[in-house]
Structure 1
Amino acid sequence: MRQFLKVTLVATFLLTGANLFAQTVKLGHIDSNKLLSIMPEKDEAQKQIQAQAAEYDNQIKAMQVEYQTLVKAYVEQEATLSEAIKADKQKEIQQLQTRMREFDGFAQTELQNKQNELLKPIFDKASKAIKDVGAENGFTYILDISTGVILFNSDNSVDVMPLVKAKLGLQ
C-alpha cells in the first residue's frame, strides 16, 4: 500500500510538472520570406544587384559578339590561310573562349559577393527584430514557416508577423 502511494505521488508530480511545462511553452511562427519581401531595403539591394548583373551580362554579350566575329572570319578565310596563320587564329579563338569562361566565373562570384554584402544587413535586421519580438513577448520558439520544415503547427501557434512588422516600422 505504501508503494502504491509513492507511485501515485510520483505520477501526480510528473503529470503536474509536465502540465506546467506545457503551459510555459509559447510558440510563434513567421514567414520570413514574406517579411523580407516587404522590407524596402531589400528592393533597393535587389536593384543594385540587378544593375551589376546587367553590366556583367553586357560584357559577356560583347565577348560573344567578338567570338562570333572571329569564328566567322576564320571560317570564311580558312581555305586561303597558311597553316601558321590558321594555328594563330585557332589559338586566338581558344583564348577568347577561355577569357569568356573566366569572366563568367568572375561575374558569378562577384554577384554572389555583392548579394551577400547587400542582403546580409537586411537579414540581420529582420532576424534581430524577430528575436526582440520573441524576447519581449515571452515566446519559447518562433518557427519559420517559409522553410517548410514544420512537422506540426497547432492552432495555439501565434503568427508574429504583425509584431515584427511593427518592430521594423513596416505596414
Structure 2
Amino acid sequence: MMRFSFLFCFLLLLGGAVQAQEYAYLNFGNLLASMPESKAADDSLGAYQAKLEADLVAMAEKFEKRYKEVEALAATTAPVKMREYEAELQKLQQTAIQFEQSIPNQLQAKRAELLGPIVERARKAIDEVAEARNIKMVFDGSIFNALLYTQEVNDLMPAVKEKLGIE
C-alpha cells in the first residue's frame, strides 16, 4: 500500500511538471513586425494610402475648377441651365464625399489582403513549433493584460523566429 501511495504521488508530481510545459506565450505583434515581408506590406499600404489621398485631392480640384467655371457663367446663364450646373456640382461633391468616407474601408481591405499571407505564415510556424514541443496552448503576449506572469522559458519567440528564418 505504501508503494502504491508513493507511486501515485510521484505520478501526480510528474504530471504537474509535464503540464507546466503545456503552455507558452509569444508576442505576435513583435513577431509580425520582425518579419521582412511586413516591411514590404507596410510600404505597399503606405503607397496605396497616398494614391487614395491623391485621388481625393484630384476630385476636390475637379470640383473647385468646375465650381469656378459655373460661377463665371452665372450672370449670363438661364436659371434652368444653372439648376443643371448646380445638380452637376452636387453630384461631384457627393462623389468626393462618398470616396472620402470609403477610404478607411479600402485601407482596411488592402491591409487584410497584404497581411493575410504573412499572418498565415506566422501562425503556421507557431503551430509547428508548438506541436514539436508538445505545447497545448500559446498565449499572445501583445494583447494588453493577457499575460500577468510567465516564465521566460516558455517564450516561443526565438524558436518561431528560427523556424521563419529571422535573426
Are 1:44 and 2:40 counterparts?
yes
Kept in 2: contact 1:30–1:145 (CA 8 A): yes
* CA–CA separation in structure 1 for the residues paired with 2:115 and 2:63: 35
Are 1:22 and 2:12 counterparts?
no
TM norm structure 1: 0.77
Which residue of structure 1 aligns with residue 64 of structure 2?
A: 68
* CA–CA separation in structure 2 for the residues paired with 1:83 and 1:41: 59
Distance 1:86 1:21, change over 3 A: farther
* CA–CA separation in structure 2 for the residues paired with 1:21 and 1:91: 77
Which residue of structure 2 aligns with residue 111 of structure 1?
A: 107
Kept in 1: contact 2:130–2:136 (CA 8 A): yes
Unaligned runs of 5+ in 1: 1-8
Are 1:143 and 2:139 counterparts?
yes
* CA–CA separation in structure 2 for the residues paired with 1:20 and 1:137: 17
CA deviation after TM superposition for structure 1 residue 62, in Å: 0.6
> RMSD across aligned C-alpha pairs, in angstroms?
2.7
Which residue of structure 2 aligns with residue 154 of structure 1?
A: 150
Unaligned runs of 5+ in 2: none
* CA–CA separation in structure 2 for the residues paired with 1:91 and 1:157: 68
TM norm structure 2: 0.79
* CA–CA separation in structure 2 for the residues paired with 1:16 and 1:56: 66
CA deviation after TM superposition for structure 1 residue 115, in Å: 2.1
Tell me the SS of whatever aligns to 2:138.
strand
Kept in 1: contact 2:141–2:147 (CA 8 A): no
Q: Write out per-residue CA displacement over residues 84-127 of structure 1, whole angstroms, 9 at most, x where no aligned residue.
A: 23212210111002221343355544433332222111000100
- Counterpart residue identity of residue 137, structure 2: Y
* CA–CA separation in structure 2 for the residues paired with 1:96 and 1:66: 8
Which residue of structure 2 aligns with residue 126 of structure 1?
A: 122
